[in-house]
């Protein structure tokens, strides 16, 4: 099955700790994962940022909301137990516990009143996403949407620039990624060969221990295997071991399969989508509009309390 949403985890979590014993995070995570028959891959599925496990995040938010409503309490770091209110709720044998159910408790209602998310529906409505997201997931999804829109705008802008500017853009990007020596150095070698499918050469590192050969083209259609084979032939003619083929469009499956089968030279394909992502990640052609820092409680600070 898929990873349950955080509201679906509330009642099972409360029942799990309903024995009035102390419980810790790892124990609860393992028990709930087993209860929901999650596979190993589902258990390790990450949020889009790649920094948090989706299941762990949802359990953490389920626990946080139950605590806000006074149904469980923290005993010490990473350890918690059910409260008297939580026991009374279990005695009622509710069919489910969700954010609407928790709104009956004044502490939770007060928190929701202060929350900027208070105007959002607290339960799925007909036709809506059946798996409500945690605040972390909402934040990440919003960021991903903004980044996708930015990437599309970047690709359109790149397609309209001149070939010389595009080659310079590629140099700037590779430099930002840590390739090449000084900007002066890179400018002298990139864009001067221009024959046999090689648009430039850049140092692999600041010491120049190896060179990376570049082909950078603003194609509109799909780049097929013949073009990539020509590039590979140009690299072999120069005894070059590494090459990067960059395009504003995309590569065919045959082109990708060909690259995956050859050992030498090693060729990396960068299509328009990856190019835009790399530009965003390394600050090329984009500018910061606003920065938001998401913080959490520093438990180490309170360790001696």
Q: Can you give the pLDDT of all 305 residues of the chain as single tens digits?
A: 689 999 999 999 999 999 989 999 999 999 999 999 999 999 999 988 788 899 999 999 999 999 999 999 998 878 999 999 999 999 999 999 999 999 999 988 887 776 544 444 444 333 334 456 888 888 888 888 888 889 988 988 888 888 888 888 888 898 889 887 655 665 544 555 445 578 888 888 777 778 888 988 888 889 999 999 999 999 998 888 999 999 999 999 999 999 999 988 999 999 999 999 999 999 999 988 877 777 777 766 665 55
Tell me how far apart the alpha carbons of residues 207 and 228 are, in angstroms, rounded to a whole number: 29
Identify the H or E element spanning 150: helix 135-159
What is the structure's pLDDT at 207? 75
Identify the H or E element spanning 65: helix 54-68
CATH of the domain at 267: 3.40.1350.10
Tell me how far apart the alpha carbons of residues 204 and 16 are, in angstroms, rounded to a whole number: 55
Do 166 and 269 sit in the same domain of this protein? yes
Strand 200-203 relative to strand 23-24: parallel, antiparallel, unpaired? unpaired
Q: For the chain, what's the residue count? A: 305
* Block residue for tokens 């409500």: 132
What is the structure's pLDDT at 128? 38
Tell me how far apart the alpha carbons of residues 148 and 146 are, in angstroms, rounded to a whole number: 6
Do 188 and 274 sit in the same domain of this protein? yes
Sheet containing strand 242-247, edge to edge, reads 200-203, 211-217, 242-247, 266-270
In a domain, 198, yes or no: yes
What is the structure's pLDDT at 303? 58
Chosen domain end from 104, 124, 144: 124
Q: Using CB atoms within 10 A of its CB, is residue 142 exposed (0-12), middle (13-18) or buried (19+)?
A: exposed
Q: Is the peptide bond before 265 cis (omega within 30 degrees of 0)?
A: yes
Give the pTM.
0.65
- Phi, psi of 246, rounded to the nearest 5 degrees: -115, 130
Tell me how far apart the alpha carbons of residues 64 and 108 are, in angstroms, rounded to a whole number: 11
Do 95 and 192 sit in the same domain of this protein? no
The DSSP code for 282 is: T
Record the tokens describing residue 133, joined without a space. Answer: 């997201």
Chosen domain end from 102, 124, 146: 124
Among candidate residues 209, 218, 226, 230, the one with its CA nearest the CA of residue 270: 218
In a domain, 304, yes or no: no
Report the SS3 class of residue 13: helix
In a domain, 130, yes or no: no
C-beta of residue 36 within 8 angstroms of C-beta of residue 11: no
Which residues span the domain enclosing 103?
10-124
């Amino acid at each position: 099955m898929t990873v349950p949403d955080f509201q679906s985890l509330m009642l099972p979590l409360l029942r799990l700790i309903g024995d009035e014993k102390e419980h810790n995070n790892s124990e609860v995570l393992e028990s709930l994962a087993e209860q929901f028959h999650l596979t190993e891959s589902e258990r390790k599925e990450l949020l889009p940022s790649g920094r948090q496990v989706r299941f762990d995040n949802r359990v953490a938010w389920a626990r946080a909301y139950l605590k806000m409503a006074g149904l469980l309490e923290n005993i010490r770091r990473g350890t918690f137990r059910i409260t008297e209110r939580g026991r009374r709720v279990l005695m009622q044998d509710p069919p489910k516990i969700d954010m609407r159910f928790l709104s009956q408790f004044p502490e939770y209602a007060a928190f929701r009143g202060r929350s900027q998310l208070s105007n959002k529906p607290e339960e799925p409505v007909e036709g809506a996403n059946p798996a409500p997201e945690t605040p972390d997931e909402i934040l990440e999804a919003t960021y991903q949407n903004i980044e996708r829109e930015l990437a599309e705008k970047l690709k359109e802008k790149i397609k309209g620039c001149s070939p010389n500017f595009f080659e310079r853009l590629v140099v700037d990007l590779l430099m930002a990624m840590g390739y090449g020596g000084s900007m002066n150095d890179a400018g002298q070698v990139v864009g001067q060969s221009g024959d046999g499918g090689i648009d430039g050469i850049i140092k692999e590192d600041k010491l120049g221990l190896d060179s990376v050969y570049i082909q950078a083209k603003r194609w509109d259609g799909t780049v097929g295997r013949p073009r990539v084979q020509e590039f590979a032939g140009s690299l072999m003619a120069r005894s070059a071991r590494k090459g990067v083929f960059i395009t504003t469009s995309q590569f065919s499956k045959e082109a990708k399969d060909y690259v995956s089968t050859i050992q030498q030279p090693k060729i990396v394909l960068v299509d328009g989508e990856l190019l835009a992502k790399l530009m965003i990640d390394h600050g090329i052609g984009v500018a910061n509009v606003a920065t938001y820092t998401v913080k959490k409680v520093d438990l180490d600070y309170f360790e001696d309390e």
